[in-house]
Chain A
Amino acid sequence: MEKFISLTGIVAPMDRPNVDTDAIIPKQFLKSISRSGFGPNLFDEWRYLDHGEPGMDHSGRTLNPEFVLNQERYQGASILLGRENFGCGSSREHAVWALLDYGFRVVIAPSFADIFFNNCFKNGVLPIVLDSSTVSRLFTAVETTPGYRLTVDLLAQRITMPDKDSIAFEVDRFRKDCLMRGLDDIGLTLQHTAAIRAYEERRRAEAPWLFTNLPE
């Protein structure tokens, strides 16, 4: 996982509540058995006017000029600004892979769906929760200021605006540490192998039915 320490980038607004993971990456692209290559299909049904299928050459497709990410001013954006309950619905981690592959490293919203929120941290993407009035202020700033950029500093837990004003944000300590060091969770958990084995041994005695082999 790529480390996340700080980032300065263009902010793109996604101004609707309940953006679901089906919208972020439609089902036909989940047929891939790889973790990469989802960027061209991020928000596929909103982003293109024609129907996308896996394996297509996306360079020849018709872009939807109305869709926010297709506007010139948001090209190269690395921070996505969203509304309530961002990432709801399906558990598909492909949604985070698509955001990351497109170039987003930060998503800011008033609230996130739990599974999506969790999946972000596993992939070096930082989801930031800010209160809805602050988010609304940021929407206004982004929409009225072409090239609007923010600096997100994870160590200081601070977002700095172009006028140098700044906003503090909360992040879980363990998740922050993993993001800043680019740590692999599995390696960390395997440091507790002895404790896991001891737990299993105890449970096998207490509740043997939990360990019954599934018949073929």
Chain B
Amino acid sequence: MSGMTLYDKLWESHLIREDEAGTALLYIDRHLVHEVTSPQAFEGLRLAGRKPWRTSSILAVPDHNVPTTNRSAGIKDPVSRTQVDTLDRNCADFGITEFSMLDPRQGIVHVIGPEQGATLPGMTVVCGDSHTSTHGAFGALAFGIGTSEVEHVLATQCLIQKKSGNLQIRVDGKLAPGVAAKDVVLAIIGKIGTAGGTGYAIEFSGAVLEALSMEGRMTVCNMAIEAGARAGMIAVDDTTIDYLSRRPYTQQVDLWDRAVNAWRGFVSDADATFDKHVSLDASALAPQVTWGTSPEMVTSVDGYVPDPDQEPDPVKRDGMCKALDYMDLQPGTPITEIRPDHVFIGSCTNARIEDLRAAAAVSRGQTVAAGIKQALVVPGSGLVKQQAEAEGLDRVFRDAGFEWREPGCSMCLAMNADRLAPGDRCASTSNRNFEGRQGQGGRTHLVSPAMAAAAAISGHFVDVRDTAGR
């Protein structure tokens, strides 16, 4: 009998029952909740006269709608305000722990969960948000769910699921200075496509992942969904345990040594078999920049906007033409000649302390280029903001001409006031370059934090390896 993958172990240890057709009932350990995808679930619960099964499993936070300026004045948009007030009321009514908008621990749900130690190895973690895959970085099974499933977890602490396939993605080699976790995951998506992981749980492994910090690992797992996989995960190692030992909630974990011992088992067995393998060597990997309207439309910073005429598949070719038209780009344009007029450093992909340090390192003593209309830095949480300020990063950004904001999802999806106007072009550290994602008619280029900061300073994309290597 062959061994088990990390995903197999997580699945098995949460399985309550399974029928002969493979429909399973899976227990959920941690339920993260935000204001956008929960109101209808709480309403459904009330209408059926039900209560949350286990409130201690739930952590709630408003993040999508919150303003990133002048927060003490409240939320101006009445529709956004209603949604945040509804979350506050639901949490109060049902006795759920919530970090409300003015709590210093408030932030993006996928930043605060790990930061607080609410995400632990061996857990099942769900949230009504596709970027829940982030938490898989801790050796957890974490995936996004719809609102009906949010209600289902609230009412039963379980989900009805079918097991996915096992996909192993190995990234070997050593990253060049200036090349980041974001570049690794964009390169993976470029290689396998946005549907390459559909139907699979991805385990990321290899020397590059082992060398990444938890922040970097979260960036990679965060974008598993952009490769089509609901869940991405990474085995537990010393880096994981070290990160967890410094978290507020883990200070209260009884039996720390016993817990650590159990957590160390959340790795794939040496003889485990995967249904599919992908591998790449990242030693020669260049910083990545997306040029289109899907994360798979990506190339190296030293590359060019591709020519649809070279694409043999007619459906893909048509998709490329539509994307270039929307992005207002000509085939053959060098990536370094693309000039963004907005820069957004933030989101659940890249708004952790290490991301801000990387962006600040590029910005220190520099000035945002004249052609940049707005350059935003939005920390992922109140605690990230505090840490950055303690390190003086806010001064670095402000002195260079960036705006230093309050934490939230902000311009990643533009549900609050931070958004692009039609025709604006943005270098963004977020995760989706879909049409209209950052504001109707806005054009998004996905990049790493260092690449975004460098584009802000230069006014066009530049290869950060040129400066990082010195």
Contact = CB atoms under 8 A, between A and B. Distances in A.
Interface of A: 15-18, 20, 22-23, 26-28, 30-35, 45, 51, 54-55, 83-85, 88-94, 96, 111-115, 118-119, 122-123, 172-174, 185-186, 188-190, 192, 195-196, 199-200, 203, 207-216
A48 B353 CA distance: 41
Given A26-B436, A31-B79, A33-B43, A196 B27 contact: yes
Between B144, B432, B440, the greatest number of chain A beta carbons within 10 A of the residue's beta carbon is seen for B440
B97 A199 contact: no
Contacts of A96: 146
In the A-B complex, the 6 residue pairs with the closest CB atoms = A122-B148, A33-B39, A93-B146, A119-B146, A91-B144, A91-B130
Interface of B: 16-17, 19, 21, 23, 25, 27, 29, 36-37, 39-40, 43, 48, 50, 53-54, 56, 58-59, 64-65, 77, 79-80, 82-83, 86, 97, 116, 118, 120, 122-123, 128-130, 144-149, 151-152, 155-158, 160, 162, 164, 194-195, 198-199, 225, 228-230, 248-249, 252-255, 259, 262, 294, 315-316, 318-319, 322, 413-415, 432, 434-437, 440
Which of A31, A35, A196, A208 has the most chain B CB within a 10 Å cutoff? A31
Contacts of A51: 440
Contacts of B432: 20, 22, 89-90
Given A17-B319, A88-B195, A89-B434, A210 B120 contact: yes
A27 B21 contact: no
A215 B103 CA distance: 14
B155 A190 contact: yes
Contacts of B230: 114-115
A95 to B, nearest CB: 9
A110 B31 CA distance: 32
A28 B156 CA distance: 31
A2 B281 CA distance: 50
A115 B145 contact: yes
B249 A195 contact: no
Nearest to B27: A199
Contacts, number: 201
Nearest to B43: A33
B160 A189 contact: yes
A67 B77 CA distance: 30
Given A91-B145, A199-B27, A214-B59, A114 B43 contact: no
A111 B86 CA distance: 36
A94 B254 CA distance: 41
A216 to B, nearest CB: 6
Contact of A213 (B48, B53, B56, B440): B56
Nearest to A208: B254
Contact of B37 (A22, A93, A122, A199): A93
A113 B315 contact: no
A16 B440 contact: no
B195 A111 contact: yes
Contacts of B155: 186, 189-190
A51 B367 CA distance: 34
A116 to B, nearest CB: 8
B440 A185 contact: no
A34 B41 CA distance: 10
B152 A195 contact: no
A18 B294 contact: yes
Given A33-B39, A214-B118, A85 B148 contact: no
A203 B21 CA distance: 26
A174 B255 contact: no
B195 A196 contact: no
A54 to B, nearest CB: 5
Nearest to A33: B39
B316 to A, nearest CB: 7
A17 B293 CA distance: 11
A113 B130 CA distance: 11
Nearest to B124: A210
21 contacts: A18-B194, A20-B432, A23-B435, A31-B83, A32-B79, A54-B79, A84-B195, A88-B195, A88-B228, A114-B164, A114-B230, A118-B145, A122-B146, A185-B160, A190-B155, A192-B16, A192-B25, A200-B54, A214-B116, A214-B249, A215-B252
B128 A207 contact: no
Contacts of B319: 16-18
Contact of B56 (A22, A93, A211): A211
A174 B79 contact: no
Interface centre among A27, A45, A55, A207 (most CB of B within 10 A): A27
B158 A189 contact: yes
Given A16-B319, A18-B294, A189-B160, A195 B16 contact: yes
A210 B253 CA distance: 9
Contacts of A213: 56
Nearest to A54: B79
Contacts of B146: 91-93, 96, 115, 118-119, 122
